[in-house]
Amino acid sequence: MATPLRLSILDQAPISEGSNGSEALRNSVDLARLADGLGYHRYWVAEHHATPMLACTSPEALIGPIAEVTARIRVGSGGVMLPHYSPFKVAETFSLLSGLFPGRIDLGLGRALGTDPATGYALQRDRREIAPDDFSDHLVELLAYLDDSLPAKHPFSHLARTLPGLPERPEPWLLGSSPQSGLWAAQIGLPYTFADFIQPSGAAVATRYREQFTPSGWSAGPRVTVAVSALCAESDEEAERLAASSRMAFTLFRRGELIAVPPVEKALRFLAEEGITGSPGRRSIVGGPARVREGIEAVAREYGAEEVMIVTITHEHAARRRSYELIAEAFGLAHS
């Protein structure tokens, strides 16, 4: 009997025009509480900086409040952009969260800056020169703190035993949208999440990851999650209408213009004036429950994924809540 497809949520804390970041963050906590009751498996919060559209600058700060108001769902980062941080500091932070919420904390890790290069430079502590690309070294160091595997003669080897949440520890995942991320995940033996909503061509990356996977203490076998953009409404027509907000925002984003998520009617006028249909360069599953379920299942088959993580951007928080409710109903998730 086939294992049921797991559904999870990736939250980017969208800021709507006419609203603010504070309200967006409270909406994230509200949505997580809803997701916990609807039967979603994970709730991850993203990391983006210096944009008027997204309030998710610090997943490590948002995970605790979300875990506190939920009871069952796993909570984590999607992800922590490791180039900005000390590996030991990340290990301490997620050890602490794991100690507070045993068995429920995920540590999704990414290589991207989650912002533009100038903001990435502003995030550096040492600004004497641009930080080197040492992600793979820092990833290995971080994991070594979590499983206490640094060599005995390593100057930091004792630090693993000082992590505040011991014996609990987070479950690490590697995030990516390129072949290199899949290769690292396979070599180290980590579960892997591919961002199809950023780069809709990762099926081959997922295949190579499974073929080259090396079992580890983190995962006995390859585990693939695919993150997709999806929006569900009562009808295909209503979903297409609601999707106008994100289509306008991402169209301007590609032009270098950052805006808050616009109201639907404003977005529809913009798209009509620009002659824009669909979501060029991005895959987005938009429609009523039947269409969205079919689309999600198709992407899961394409990637050979046992789990799909859904990111949804709407202007109205109520529409985003309803989208996740309809998807949960379409898949028959177990409500609590």
- The enclosing domain of 105 has a CATH number of 3.20.20.30
Number of separate domains in the chain: 1
Could you tell me if 40 and 8 are in contact, meaning their C-beta atoms sit under 8 angstroms apart? yes
Residue 285's DSSP bridge partners are 230
**pLDDT tens track, the chain, 336 positions:** 456 899 999 999 999 999 999 999 999 999 999 999 999 999 999 999 999 999 999 999 999 999 999 999 999 999 999 988 999 999 999 999 999 999 999 999 998 877 778 777 777 777 777 777 788 999 999 999 999 999 999 999 999 999 999 999 999 999 999 999 999 999 999 999 999 999 998 999 999 999 999 999 999 999 999 999 999 999 999 999 999 999 999 999 989 899 999 999 999 999 999 888 766 667 899 999 999 999 999 999 999 999 999 999 999 999 999 999 999 999 999 876
Asked whether residue 256 is domain-assigned, the answer is: no
CA 109 to chain centre: 10
- Give me 138's structure tokens: 């820092």
Could you tell me if 60 and 80 are in contact, meaning their C-beta atoms sit under 8 angstroms apart? yes
Asked whether residue 266 is domain-assigned, the answer is: no
* H or E segment to which residue 78 belongs: strand 74-81
Asked whether residue 276 is domain-assigned, the answer is: no
Give the separation between CA 101 and CA 76, rounded to whole angstroms.
Answer: 11
Give the separation between CA 202 and CA 317, rounded to whole angstroms.
Answer: 30
Asked whether residue 247 is domain-assigned, the answer is: no
- Give me 167's structure tokens: 């014996």
Asked whether residue 246 is domain-assigned, the answer is: no
Asked whether residue 52 is domain-assigned, the answer is: yes
Domain extent, residue 209, equals 6-230+283-331
Asked whether residue 250 is domain-assigned, the answer is: no
Kindly tell me the sign of the dihedral angle through the C-alpha atoms of 318, 324, 327, 331.
negative
Give the separation between CA 208 and CA 186, rounded to whole angstroms.
Answer: 8
Asked whether residue 252 is domain-assigned, the answer is: no
Quote the pTM value. 0.94
